[in-house]
A and B are shown apart, each in its own frame.
Chain A
């Protein structure tokens, strides 16, 4: 996942995960985060990833990974079989976003979720003044070549959680590897949430 804040979001996630926890990372990429969690938090880690090259990289890191897509990857897991299910910058790329969220909350005791903020002020500027689909550091893709299927803002997600009775236990708003607190829906590029049902 491209973003200008990889270090900070991974550090925050590592801070949320308790030592020895079991973790399922949906869309784990080449496994940097799982590697960090296994190394620093002695977490028991499992990844699911669709990309061929990323899978080879995960295996080279000694990680336990399953080659497949997130949309069909959760059904078999029993309830609460992981302490944490992580969707780090992958939620916006799944097809049936609501089903995946629901299943993540079923399979994990807690869910850690991060995604790019579509309402970031620079996106708004590009749409409003240039009339163009925004391209920002956290949403770096052109309209014709993007893996993202869904676009949402911080406010969208927060209001969704409140409507669905999902508890937001922690939230972080990030921009350029810094945490921000002022008007996050405008100034955050990435939102990171710890949620539970």
Chain B
């Protein structure tokens, strides 16, 4: 995807206090609210080329480039950079850690200024709407009135949908990838198993574990369940088969199969970088998210001027294509300008992070159309 240009090099996460007090959807007040964010590329003189990328459940503001001294790039590194889908020579790309997160933004692990202690479970319930509200304040803080695009996969797509609902005049386009307008009972159920695993860990201590032993076992199990839902039967068969681990120990219910070892590794590495309470709060925010709010989905989209790109993946059973098709059907009824594409992939839900070539093709051309219109005659391209 590179065009002989250099990729994004060393980047730094910055922090902005976007509100002294934020009134949440629940009516509770939270403050001060800080968001961690990164930006790539330059904001143009018209301040019209801002593109916000929203991350998924376990993501962070570090979407591309490298942090000093680290060998692993950001979570969507292949998609962001000079000549890439989110072309940093054209767009000013922004990514922020969500409210409630644990990667620099205000969350349950932050210090409550009233007590001088970490919030823990005294952190209020937050919603996708609250996350987006905080992002809107960050965008204002960066001097941007209207975004060229808001993009996101999975929970990131929910945030993009919420942007379209709550601030339709502030976004020229939305990129909705492997996401849903609301969770099904199945999606809520998987999240609940993760939450119960965390809360069953005796080290969780009702969320008051900061400074002591972390509920690592519970969080690792939550992550393991998550990873099963992110893959597909096919991708698991291809990756692991029934392959047994090389170093066999005497039988003691340790990992005998490769797939078990993989899940253990994923769980163990996750607990080093993620806060269990954030996992509880963020998964609840996803489960409570309902774009429709008791009205037909097309009514939410009625009169929406933004262009939409909707992408689903055929082997994704966590956010199956019918949930994307539902969004597309609502667009048809509401007369919203939408492009829909189903990418043929065996990677399951993870596909949105892995099928770079097809996604980059769709996204780069779509953003070009948003920026330039059709053959320079925007008003004639639905």
Contacts and interface: CB of A to CB of B under 8 A. Distances in A.
Interface of A: 20, 22, 38-39, 42-46, 52, 55-56, 59-60, 62-68, 76-78, 81
B16 interface: no
A38 B342 CA distance: 24
B365 A62 contact: yes
A43 B380 contact: yes
B369 interface: yes
Contacts of B369: 62
Contact of A66 (B339, B365, B366, B375): B339
Interface stretch (B193-201, B254-262, B325-333): B325-333
B165 to A, nearest CB: 19
Contacts of B307: 64
Interface residues of B, number: 28
A59 B365 contact: yes
A20 B380 contact: yes
Contact of A52 (B333, B337, B344, B377): B344
B365 A45 contact: no
A66 B328 contact: yes
16 contacts: A38-B381, A43-B380, A45-B381, A59-B341, A60-B361, A60-B365, A62-B365, A62-B369, A64-B381, A66-B328, A67-B341, A68-B325, A68-B328, A68-B340, A78-B335, A81-B335
* Chain B interface, >50% SS class: helix
A86 B377 CA distance: 22
Contacts of B365: 59-60, 62
Contact of B329 (A60, A63, A67, A76): A76
A55 B341 contact: yes
Contacts of A62: 365, 368-369, 372, 374-375, 381
A56 B363 CA distance: 11
B358 interface: yes
B362 interface: yes
Given A45-B381, A64-B381, A59 B366 contact: yes
A64 B339 contact: yes
A46 B380 CA distance: 11
Contacts of A44: 380-382
Contacts of B362: 56, 59
Contacts of A38: 374-375, 377, 380-381
B361 A42 contact: no
B49 to A, nearest CB: 18
Contacts of B368: 62
Contacts of B380: 20, 38, 42-44
B338 interface: yes
Contact of A56 (B335, B337, B358): B358
**CB-CB nearest 8 A-B residue pairs:** A76-B332, A42-B380, A44-B382, A62-B369, A66-B340, A76-B329, A59-B365, A67-B341
Nearest to B361: A56
Contacts of A43: 380
A64 B337 contact: yes
Given A52-B342, A63-B339, 19 more contacts: A20-B380, A38-B375, A38-B380, A44-B381, A44-B382, A46-B382, A52-B344, A59-B341, A59-B365, A59-B366, A60-B361, A63-B374, A64-B338, A64-B339, A64-B381, A66-B332, A67-B341, A68-B325, A76-B333
A46 B328 CA distance: 13
Contacts of B332: 66, 76-77
B335 to A, nearest CB: 7
A10 to B, nearest CB: 17
Contacts of A52: 342, 344
A55 B358 CA distance: 11
A29 B362 CA distance: 16
Contact of A42 (B333, B341, B372, B377): B377
A22 B382 contact: yes
Interface string B96-126: 0000000000000000000000000000000
Interface in B315-365: 325, 328-329, 332-333, 335, 337-342, 344, 358, 361-362, 365
Contacts of B381: 38, 44-45, 62-64
A157 B342 CA distance: 34
